[in-house]
Structure 1
């Protein structure tokens, strides 16, 4: 029988073709070129042995683990080069590596290669949130639920996010009383406007209505900060147990190297205490209007900006599920004076607010030319307060209307809404490390549907498109619904006259399976036993995207 050889194209081709010759170092070499060359060849010999033995009997799935000749050389060069930075113990490190691979069996090599591939895919997914994204090389994955819109609606309650335990994770489930609000107001007055900057953590004062002597809105001057999230460096191939550094995605600097790489005109803050949020604008429950016909589910996304009252709603978008048809997309005039529109993420720029059309203005009959339409953003309408935006959303809701979004507590809290029927995709697709870690919407769309959202265009961050984000959450719900129906069919469920029928003589409570894994009351209540993780597991969790 002719031995099987690896012909599969590598998942990621090396940047350049290299020979089995030690790389030139920017620092002083740890040993003579001859010694480095001999150690490199011995290392490559063991890697090649393991790779060849795996290739002989590899099935179709295992062929993905087989390295090409160039990839083997690159792997050996990477290991040797990393060891070369430890001058004093260079030869010991490489010799130990050679011994490890010499003693390694093919199953162990297969396991190592599997972990390397999984790590490469995870790193690619984690980097999506902060790197420029080109057009997908593969077409987006279609969502096939094999159900009609009415049948999808019938099945949707199986994905509802349980309310129990959500108050621990930012959701507001009860309206603060007048007594609680008054107590919070006294606390704000006693603080005399002193806050902690949400970006640089400096203490500063804020002056709603402007400071009398000079008209300033804040003290403390400019704010220097890092806008990118910190992440842990990849583990060393030579010494996996070595301590890793945290770096910022925005500039690549290590934490502590500098106060920041970006400057803003003023410091900003946000408030998370419910009672204090209610001092600015109190919460309301979705009104019950029996005369209103049952509405289709609604997907929403809000964008927030910083004002003298913290983070306030500055844009709100609602679309109908599952069609994705826009219900409304409006800018919102905040209650407090604006400090920073947070345009890098919100996608709302000063020009947008200045040129917005009043919500109640007559339709604009002056259509732009084709050239203008190509090079200009759509002018949005604007409502005059967060209360008006909330009323607009309420006009499309009843308490029973499913509300869909990603990190819904942020949008609901910004609009000061308490709604009982929700599907939060941040919880529907939980992070492997559990709360408070969450998978970002961008990463979920790429991972499950091969779709790119929140893209960086020509190196410029234009901010989020709230309509795109709202519909993205709706698409993820349809994806989860397709998986749920597939699971139910395997368990014996059938569809008869638009109704889902369980298997005979069996009762199936709603189980958390597939993308729902982990979405239980215990998960939401943050079981202390689940929080006992090792330092290594927590660092791995921080490598993934944490949704804002």
Structure 2
């Protein structure tokens, strides 16, 4: 079988260079580990990927690979003595990983829990009157003007009480991107540039209503009160979750919730949820939801009654997600045991998308079409497993 390097969003070296070095690495491993031939392809690919991800240029990639090859020969293939980017490789190389224990996994997960201060700085509301609440109030729409909002799509100021009156909202569904070659921002949804004189520059899609999103604790509580998970008793568990949202007369609401168990990878809850407000836009391009039938969906209250229980989300649950503040805020829950991959992998004030994280860390392509909360929850969970050195495929635990 031909062994190929795993593609990266930002390639540190040309594919042919990576391919040749990977074959050389495989040859070295075959000489050093003749009794492990069935596992060497995966081992070589994993080692090369780690070097590629820790390298910023073709020169640094070749240098780092030369160090790896040197150390492999020096230590006779003993991975416990080898580092890549100053980090040991033995504990997180898939081909040499031992089966993890549940206790060990829990210890690793707790070590990457996000502290409360960081959560609040990233938009989480962890308690009534918390720093995040105060920050949200200070930075909220129109300095606390509860009667008006700024449309998230066309930037028009409008009265919330008149949101269901028909108007013209012209917008671009995708955010503008910067082209380094032309040094101009363009909209990937239609190709228009920010400096275009075309009428389409104002937007390639239209809607009959403006949309908004509450940013403050008070604003979100107007839809429904927050629920504090500290009042929900239950055993310690680890759950990955993701929501899909839509725009309604009350703002931004949850329309689908998926919860996956970390240790079994089983989907424990996946339901369509009817919003409280009057529907404006299902946001199907991103939510993947095209219709909500009362017979096939839960009300918000029914959903939360099933979710905030001892067997699902309770005070001792560790919740995993990407940009999870959006999910827990739209669920209206206050929770503090959080692992957020958007924060874990942030680069300064910039956050990497889940799509890129999944591609770079677990070699998985997601969100190729409409979003799927189940796909996103599982991808986030597997990115965390990869980060702490737990086999993604492991389903049984001691």
Flag whether TM exceeds 0.5 (same fold).
yes
Instruction: Answer with 281-290 or 392-401: which moved more.
Output: 281-290
Gapped regions of structure 2 (runs ≥ 5): 9-16, 25-55, 63-92, 392-397
1:319 is aligned to: 260
State yes or no: 1:263 paired with 2:206. Answer: yes
Instruction: Quickly say closer, same or farther: Cα 1:145–1:249, change in 2 above 3 A.
Output: farther
* Residue 393 (structure 1) shift: 2.0
In structure 1, what is the Cα distance between the partners aligned to 2:216 and 2:282? 22
SS in 1 for 2:154: coil
SS in 2 for 1:250: coil
Alignment of 1:115-134 (within 5 A): none
Aligned with 2:172 (options 223, 226, 235): 226
SS in 2 for 1:165: helix
1:465 is aligned to: 372
1:167 is aligned to: 120
1:206 is aligned to: 160
Aligned partners of 2:259 and 2:270 also within 8 Å = yes
Alignment of 1:524-539 (within 5 A): none
2:305 is aligned to: 391
Instruction: Quickly say closer, same or farther: Cα 1:392–1:145, change in 2 above 3 A.
Output: farther
* Residue 233 (structure 1) shift: 0.9
* Residue 143 (structure 1) shift: 8.8
In structure 1, what is the Cα distance between the partners aligned to 2:204 and 2:129? 40
In structure 1, what is the Cα distance between the partners aligned to 2:101 and 2:238? 11
Alignment of 1:46-195 (within 5 A): 145-150=97-102, 151-176=104-129, 193-195=147-149
In structure 2, what is the Cα distance between the partners aligned to 1:143 and 1:310? 48
2:353 is aligned to: 440
State yes or no: 1:454 paired with 2:354. Answer: no
TM-score norm. by structure 1 comes to 0.50
Deviation per CA, 1:416-470, whole angstroms, max 9, x where unpaired? 111121111111222x2x12x21111111011111111113xxxxxx21111111
State yes or no: 1:250 paired with 2:189. Answer: yes
Deviation per CA, 1:73-94, whole angstroms, max 9, x where unpaired? xxxxxxxxxxxxxxxxxxxxxx
In structure 2, what is the Cα distance between the partners aligned to 1:143 and 1:199? 47
Deviation per CA, 1:298-341, whole angstroms, max 9, x where unpaired? 11101111111110111111111132211111111111111111
In structure 2, what is the Cα distance between the partners aligned to 1:253 and 1:116? 37
* Residue 62 (structure 1) shift: 12
In structure 2, what is the Cα distance between the partners aligned to 1:311 and 1:59? 47
Instruction: Quickly say closer, same or farther: Cα 1:326–1:222, change in 2 above 3 A.
Output: same
In structure 2, what is the Cα distance between the partners aligned to 1:116 and 1:263? 47
Aligned partners of 2:105 and 2:390 also within 8 Å = no
TM-score norm. by structure 2 comes to 0.67
Aligned partners of 1:330 and 1:383 also within 8 Å = yes
1:343 is aligned to: 284
Instruction: Quickly say closer, same or farther: Cα 1:424–1:171, change in 2 above 3 A.
Output: same
Deviation per CA, 1:250-308, whole angstroms, max 9, x where unpaired? 12211142101112232111121222212222212104455x3x243111101111111
Instruction: Quickly say closer, same or farther: Cα 1:478–1:145, change in 2 above 3 A.
Output: farther
In structure 2, what is the Cα distance between the partners aligned to 1:482 and 1:471? 16
Instruction: Quickly say closer, same or farther: Cα 1:145–1:199, change in 2 above 3 A.
Output: farther
Alignment of 1:283-294 (within 5 A): 283-290=226-233, 292=234, 294=235
Which of 1 and 2 has greater Rg? 1
In structure 2, what is the Cα distance between the partners aligned to 1:248 and 1:346? 20
Kindly indicate which of the two structures has a greater share of residues assigned to strand: 2
Gapped regions of structure 1 (runs ≥ 5): 1-7, 13-54, 65-110, 118-140, 237-243, 358-380, 457-462, 485-497, 499-548
Aligned partners of 2:185 and 2:193 also within 8 Å = yes
Instruction: Quickly say closer, same or farther: Cα 1:336–1:156, change in 2 above 3 A.
Output: same
State yes or no: 1:481 paired with 2:388. Answer: yes
* Residue 147 (structure 1) shift: 3.2
In structure 2, what is the Cα distance between the partners aligned to 1:265 and 1:115? 53
2:35 is aligned to: none
Residues paired across the two proteins, number: 304
* Residue 161 (structure 1) shift: 1.5
In structure 2, what is the Cα distance between the partners aligned to 1:142 and 1:474? 16
Deviation per CA, 1:33-57, whole angstroms, max 9, x where unpaired? xxxxxxxxxxxxxxxxxxxxxx9xx
Instruction: Quickly say closer, same or farther: Cα 1:407–1:316, change in 2 above 3 A.
Output: same
1:5 is aligned to: none
SS in 2 for 1:281: coil
In structure 2, what is the Cα distance between the partners aligned to 1:218 and 1:142? 57
SS in 2 for 1:336: coil
Aligned partners of 2:148 and 2:157 also within 8 Å = yes
